């Protein structure tokens, strides 16, 4: 009895089984219709696999961009802290560091998770903008604003990449199901064409290689 494709099998196992079946049919006179029936389903699954791999890479790239932009935001916050300390040394009696960083050192902001850091940085920006007109630290407003916006956009891009990857995985699973279905159809058609004993020869012994979960990058929010 031919072993059919199963849902628990990976896409690679689906494709391998389908291709081996095709090669056996190509060596069998009268099995041309079986090849024509299943080859497009194999090609479609391979396309979906390649598409999903591309989306996985895009997700990793988006995550790496979050880390990069977070580093830039960290620098802008630390530079503001250093400038505030320098201002306090140059202007005794008019301290601003504690006003800018009421929760302590800049690490109280930069050590937070990505999303929390953006929130804390936005609060810092509000405090910075509350300084009197002409204050020397206001020159750092644009730098901090730009870093916050870049980090926020990186987070949004990553969320979009995650959604696109999930959609690609769903499409791949549908392509797997279609291939499994037509693989079984081919077995039934092969029995009609050649009888059950010979039909079994056109279906290889399949590997039971199971699906593996796609590697994920956790983004602490």
Tell me what pLDDT residue 93 has: 84
Rounded CA-CA distance 109/192 in Å is 71
What value, to the nearest 5°, has the Cα angle with vertex 112 and ends 106 and 116? 110
Q: What's the burial of 51, exposed, middle or buried (CB within 10 Å: 0-12/13-18/19+)? A: middle
Cβ pair 190, 199 in contact under 8 A: yes
Q: What is the pTM of this model?
A: 0.85
Tell me what pLDDT residue 128 has: 97
What value, to the nearest 5°, has the Cα angle with vertex 20 and ends 211 and 203? 95
Rounded CA-CA distance 51/168 in Å is 7
Which H/E stretch holds residue 67? Answer: helix 32-90
Rounded CA-CA distance 27/23 in Å is 7
Rounded CA-CA distance 118/125 in Å is 10
Tell me what pLDDT residue 206 has: 85
Rounded CA-CA distance 113/56 in Å is 23
Rounded CA-CA distance 169/130 in Å is 48
Rounded CA-CA distance 121/154 in Å is 15
Q: Which residues of the chain have pLDDT under 50?
A: none
């Amino acid at each position: 009895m031919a072993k059919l494709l199963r849902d628990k099998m990976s896409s690679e196992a689906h494709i391998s089984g389908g291709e081996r079946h095709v090669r056996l049919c190509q060596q069998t006179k009268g099995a041309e219709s079986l090849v024509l029936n299943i080859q497009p389903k194999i090609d479609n699954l391979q396309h979906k696999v390649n598409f999903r791999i591309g989306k996985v890479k895009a997700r990793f790239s988006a995550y790496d961009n979050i880390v990069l932009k977070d580093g830039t935001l960290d620098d802008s916050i630390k530079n503001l802290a250093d400038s505030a300390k320098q201002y306090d040394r140059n202007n005794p009696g008019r301290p601003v560091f504690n006003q800018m960083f009421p929760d302590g050192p800049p690490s109280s902001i930069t050590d937070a998770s990505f999303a929390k850091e953006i929130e804390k940085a936005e609060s810092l920006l509000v405090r910075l903008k509350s300084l009197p007109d002409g204050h020397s630290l206001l020159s750092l407003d644009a730098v901090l604003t730009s870093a916050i916006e870049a980090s926020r956009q990186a987070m949004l891009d990553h969320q979009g990449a995650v959604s696109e990857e999930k959609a690609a995985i769903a499409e791949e699973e549908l392509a797997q199901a279609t291939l499994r279905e037509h693989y079984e159809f081919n077995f039934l058609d092969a029995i009609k064409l050649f009888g059950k004993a010979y039909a079994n020869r056109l279906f290889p012994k399949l590997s039971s290689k199971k699906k593996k979960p796609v590697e994920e990058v956790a983004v602490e929010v």
